[in-house]
Amino acid sequence: MTNGPGPRLTDLAASLPDTVPFVGPETQERTRGAPFIARLGANESLFGPSPKALAAMQRASRDIWKYGDPETYDLRHALAAHYGIGADHIVIGEGIDGLLGYLVRLLVAPGDAVVTSDGAYPTFNYHVAGFGGTLHKVPYAGDHEDPEALVSKAKEVDAKLIYLANPDNPMGSWHAAAALEKMIEDLPDGCLLALDEAYVELAPRKTAPDIAPDNPRVIRLRTFSKAYGMAGARVGYAMGATPLIRAFDKVRNHFGVNRIAQAGALAALEDQSHLRWVIGQVETSRKALNRIADANGLTALPSATNFVTMDCGLDGTFARAVLAELTKSGIFARMPFVAPQDRAIRISCGPGDAMRAFDNALPAALAKAREVL
């Protein structure tokens, strides 16, 4: 008996590289044959979710035999009340990653132009490639995404979609609200800004722009993965003009957000006191990471997120060597992928024990990396 032909992939799928945006820490732990001492590479909240959210999820687990509400009615209306907008301006999805996939599917046909920053969040690029869009990239301006360059490129290539994160991953930098408001005003006709605000709860005041919920030029994406500490639950939401939000119903997985996740997100949203506590803990941890960087001759970049990006002072080769040595010592961390930002490593905020583990491992990692070079 002979093997039959392989799967009959579409030409587009067959042309895609065999790759994924991230290699998870679990994969790395299996490779190294040991767990990490400190998990500081995925921008998760080591401070955890609200105890009220945990209790709500435990209660909801008794009904896990039921599908989750496909309209996510309670969570959508709670978010609407929280922001003072109509529930018809909100869609819930499987984290920002899932919502980005739906957004690209709605807007981007094969060959359509899409603009992003070279080195920005790679999962967006992954979705654009998966639906056959043509990516056009502009460089960062220093360690910030460049709104003016993004808009200029969008006009040049007649882009249907622009991606920008504010605050930014992987650099932790941010733009004031006024800069984003101007960017939205300057968008060419027919171009939508996908504004990723995954870290906005952790940012300084006046970072989030004032955007009317019915503005058709922008969709803003937020999540319960970061400040709310529920990355594993996969709950994100998008806010935008009603016609665009309704269009998600054409393509989304209506049962994609399970009932346990919905219950947890609703309880987390209601516990704003825990959110304020987490924000305070992140601020304390950022200061600790700044001190660690300074003590080791590195430069901690200003951060409006739950991580600190540290300039290692040389190039990407050196930073990758530092990262490899940290991994050997049991510290899971990551780094920007694209030069010149790849001169840095990126460390998640966390409680004292995690910070001490990183502090203890960093000097030896730097010394060994210098020996290699």
- List pLDDT tens digits, range 126-145: 999 999 999 999 999 999 99
Confidence of residue 3 (pLDDT cuts 50, 70, 90): low
Work out the pLDDT band at 22, boundaries 50, 70, 90.
confident
Going by pLDDT thresholds of 50, 70 and 90, the confidence category of residue 4 is low
Q: How many CB atoms lie within 10 A of CB 351?
A: 14
Residues comprising the chain, all counted: 373
Scan for tokens 């004032």, then name that residue.
210
| Residue appearing with tokens 């990551």 | 334
Nearest residue to 202 via CA among 315, 283, 313: 283
Q: Quick one: tokens of 158?
A: 């007649």
Burial class (CB in 10 A: 0-12, 13-18, 19+), 250: exposed
Write down the residue that tokens 């587009």 correspond to: 12
User: What percent of the chain stands above pLDDT 70?
Assistant: 99
- The owner of tokens 């722009």 is 209
What domains does the chain contain, in order, with CATH numbers? 17-48+273-372 (3.90.1150.10), 65-270 (3.40.640.10)
Instruction: Encode 285-320: b = buried (16+ Cβ within 10 Å), e = exposed.
Output: bbebbbebbeeeebebbebbbbbbbbbbeeebebbb
Predicted confidence (pLDDT) per residue in 194-251, tens digit: 999 999 999 999 999 999 999 999 999 999 999 999 999 999 999 999 999 999 999 9
For 97-115, what is each residue's pLDDT tens digit? 999 999 999 999 999 999 9
Torsional sign, CA 54, 59, 62, 67: negative
The owner of tokens 């004031």 is 176
For the stretch 239-273, pLDDT in tens is 999 999 999 999 999 999 999 999 999 999 999 99
pLDDT at 1 over 60: no
State if pTM tops 0.75. yes
Give residue-wise pLDDT tens across range 36-81: 999 999 999 999 999 999 999 999 999 999 999 999 999 999 999 9
Residue 314 CA, distance from chain mean position: 26
Q: What is the C-alpha to C-alpha distance for residues 289 and 373, in angstroms, rounded to an integer?
A: 25
**What average pLDDT does the structure give for the chain?**
96
Enclosing H/E stretch for 309? strand 307-311
